[in-house]
Amino acid sequence: MENPFLFGKKIYLRAAQENDAEIISVSENHPEARASLYYAIPTNIEEHIDRIKQRQKDHSTIYFTICKKENNKSIGSTAFFRIDWVGRMAIFYLAIAEKENRNKGFGKETTQLMIDYAFATLNLNRIQLHVSVENLSAISVYENAGFIKEGTLRHAMYFDDHYIDFYVMGILKSDWKKNKNKN
C-alpha cells in the first residue's frame, strides 16, 4: 500500500499524487462521469497534474485517490472542495474511473469513509453534493449514506443534446450521529 490515509474493507484512500492524473483523467472524461460532474469540455493529463499540484497547496480542498486493497490499483478519486472552516461545511465529490469498478460497493464504501472523516475528524457540520437526476446508482448510494435531497437545479447542464437537472443533497453532522446510533 502506497501511503494510505483512510482504510475501508475493500479500499483505502490516499493523498492524490501526480502519477494519479491518468486515472483521474479517465474517470472525469467518461461520458457518464462528465454528465454528473458538470464537465462538458474534455480535460487532459497535464491539466490534472496541475490541478493535483494546486489542490495540494489549497487548504479548502482535501483530495484523495481511491485504491483497491487487493492490488493497490487506483480506481478513482474523491474530495472535499470549497471547505468552509468557519461555517464547517464542504462539497463532496466522488468519481470511479472504469465501468468494471462501478456497482461493486467501492463508491458506497468511499462515501462512508469520507462522511466519517468529515464529521469525526474534521469536525465539519454539513456536507453537500450535486448529482445528476439521471445517476440513479449514485443517488441510491448517497441516500443510503444519509444524504437528503434538498432541492433541484433545473437545466443545470447541457450535455449530449439535452439539459440535465441536478439534485442538491446534504447531510448534517446531527443526521450522521443519528444514523451511527441506529447501527
Residue spans of the domains in the chain: they are 4-182
d(CA 171, CA 41): 30
Residues 110-139, mean pLDDT to the nearest whole number = 96
CB 149 within 8 A of CB 138: no
Q: Flag whether pLDDT at 58 surpasses 80.
A: no
> Domain 4-182: which topology?
Aminopeptidase (3.40.630)
Q: Which residue has the cell 487548504?
A: 59
**Neighbouring residues of 86: CB distance < 8 A, sequence distance ≥ 6:** none
pLDDT-derived band of residue 141, with 50, 70 and 90 as boundaries? Answer: very high
Q: How confident is the model at residue 37, as a pLDDT? A: 63
This prediction has a pTM of 0.87
The one-letter amino acid code at 108 reads K
Q: How confident is the model at residue 144, as a pLDDT? A: 96
